[in-house]
């Protein structure tokens, strides 16, 4: 039952597996990644790029990355702050 729940959550892409987010680094800078819950993604602050999560699977091929402009960086930061405040 636990396994089914975990699999369903991953498939729904509703969260980034905490253990995985600790193992992974930016494929280009090899620096740590920051988790963004909404939309599910991994942010490389070192190069200002966002990598998506799809169906619970992190997409870290360099060409999957999207360069964040300042507005996007702020949106991601605000989302992270909101979720921290709500906890």
Interaction site with other proteins (CB under 8 A): 3, 6-7, 10-11, 17, 19-20, 23-28, 30, 33, 49-50, 54-69, 72
Q: How far is the CB of 53 from other proteins (least distance, A)?
A: 10
Q: How far is the CB of 75 from other proteins (least distance, A)?
A: 10
The helix or strand, by DSSP H or E, that contains position 41, with its residue range, turns out to be: strand 41-44
Q: Are 46 and 26 in contact (CB under 8 A)?
A: yes
Diameter of the chain measured on Cα atoms: 43
Cβ proximity to other proteins: between 29 and 83 the closer is 29
Cβ proximity to other proteins: between 58 and 85 the closer is 58
On the question of a cis peptide bond just before residue 39, with omega within 30 degrees of 0, the verdict is yes
Q: How many degrees, rounded to 5, is the angle at CA 17 between CA 15 and CA 20?
A: 145
Q: How far is the CB of 54 from other proteins (least distance, A)?
A: 7
Cβ proximity to other proteins: between 59 and 80 the closer is 59
């Amino acid at each position: 039952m636990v396994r089914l729940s975990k699999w369903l959550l991953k498939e729904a892409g509703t969260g980034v597996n905490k253990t995985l987010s600790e193992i992974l680094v930016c494929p280009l800078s090899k620096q740590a990644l920051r988790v963004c819950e909404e939309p599910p993604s991994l942010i490389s602050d070192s190069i200002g790029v966002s990598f998506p999560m799809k169906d619970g699977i992190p997409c870290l091929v360099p060409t999957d990355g999207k360069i964040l402009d300042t507005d996007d960086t702020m949106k991601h930061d605000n989302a992270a702050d909101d979720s921290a405040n709500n906890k």
